[in-house]
Amino acid sequence: MEHKFDEKLTCEGVVGDGCGGGRIFTVEESKLKVYDPQTKEIMILLDDVNNAESISKKGCLITIECEDKSIKFNLSIMSIV
């Protein structure tokens, strides 16, 4: 079974650019999730991500743009910064 992701709320970690290379990051059901295509496992990284409009990743930093705020999640420390 292939997992489908909302394109606007999904980004892929590029191998060699920092944390999470080769994994897919998505906002789904008000949660930031990471999907590992090799193991087919999904892990929740962050709850309460409400009204997300877009997501991007650069190095170890994931930025989620919401209607009323911007959330920056650092994968190296697994925390909002």
What does the pLDDT profile of the chain (81 residues) look like in tens digits?
355 666 789 999 988 877 888 999 999 999 999 999 999 999 999 999 999 999 999 999 999 999 999 999 999 999 999
| Joined tokens for residue 77 | 């420390």
Identify the pLDDT of residue 8.
83
3-state class (DSSP) for residue 64: strand
CB 48 within 8 A of CB 21: no
The pTM for the full model equals: 0.88
